[in-house]
């Protein structure tokens, strides 16, 4: 009986990203922010798909979201965003990261990201994300400090004034083990 209690305690103490496990993205909200001297705008997507695989001490995650799924509430602006980001030629934003299995034991993760967007790949080091696990689901929130120049995108302009280079992307995701 004591061995069973000890085993149950040890199993309960294992990190959320356990060995040889798989994770699926249940829901996500990705929001980019664009700042122009005359106005601010945001585009939101709920169309991200993702998967994580943990093996031999590492967890590899891949998230994909269609560029055309971002909605700013202005169809003209969204069409122009697709043109500027070469969305027809490069229709997906892909995000990859690798985490140690033990990383979910913390309330904050500092994550290295590789993002493919508009035909370019950018690396972001030590991006902080908040981690919260409730009822078997892991909620992750944070902001990726993206810029237009990271992806070699010329800033679009309105009335000859370009938007700011910064395009932070707020991330809210819920993951569940499979």
Average pLDDT over residues 21-27: 95
pLDDT band (50, 70, 90) for residue 61: very high
Q: Quick check: 33 and 42 in contact, CB under 8 A? A: yes
Q: Using pLDDT thresholds of 50, 70 and 90, give the confidence band for residue 87.
A: very high
Closest by CA to 123, choosing from 132, 111, 135, is: 111
What does residue 8 show for φ and ψ, rounded to 5 degrees? -65, -40
Q: What is the pTM of this model?
A: 0.84
What residues does each domain of the chain span? Answer: 20-177
Confidence of residue 18 (pLDDT cuts 50, 70, 90): very low
Tell me what pLDDT residue 3 has: 37
pLDDT at position 140 over 90: yes
The answer on pLDDT for 89 being more than 70 is yes
pLDDT digits (tens, 9 = 90+) for 114-138: 999 999 999 999 999 999 988 989 9
Which pLDDT does position 105 carry in this prediction?
A: 59
Residue range 83-99: mean pLDDT, rounded = 95
Residue 160 three-state SS? coil
CATH topology of domain 20-177: Lipocalin (2.40.128)
Whether residue 6 has pLDDT greater than 50: no
């Amino acid at each position: 009986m004591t061995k069973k209690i000890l085993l149950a305690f040890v199993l309960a103490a294992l990190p959320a990203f356990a060995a040889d496990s798989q994770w699926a993205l249940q829901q996500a909200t990705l929001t980019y922010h664009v700042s122009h001297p005359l106005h601010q705008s945001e585009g939101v997507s709920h169309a991200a798909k993702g998967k994580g695989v943990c093996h031999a001490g590492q967890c590899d995650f891949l998230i994909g979201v269609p560029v055309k799924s971002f909605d700013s509430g202005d169809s003209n602006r969204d069409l122009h965003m697709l043109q500027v980001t070469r969305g027809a030629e490069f229709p997906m934003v892909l995000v990859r990261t690798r985490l140690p299995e033990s990383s979910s034991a913390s309330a904050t993760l500092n994550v290295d990201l590789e993002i493919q967007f508009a035909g370019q790949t950018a690396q972001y080091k030590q991006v902080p994300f908040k981690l919260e696990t409730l009822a078997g689901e892991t909620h992750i929130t944070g902001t990726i400090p993206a810029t237009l120049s990271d992806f070699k995108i010329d800033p679009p302009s309105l009335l000859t004034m370009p938007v700011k280079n910064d395009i932070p992307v707020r991330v809210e995701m819920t993951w569940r083990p499979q």
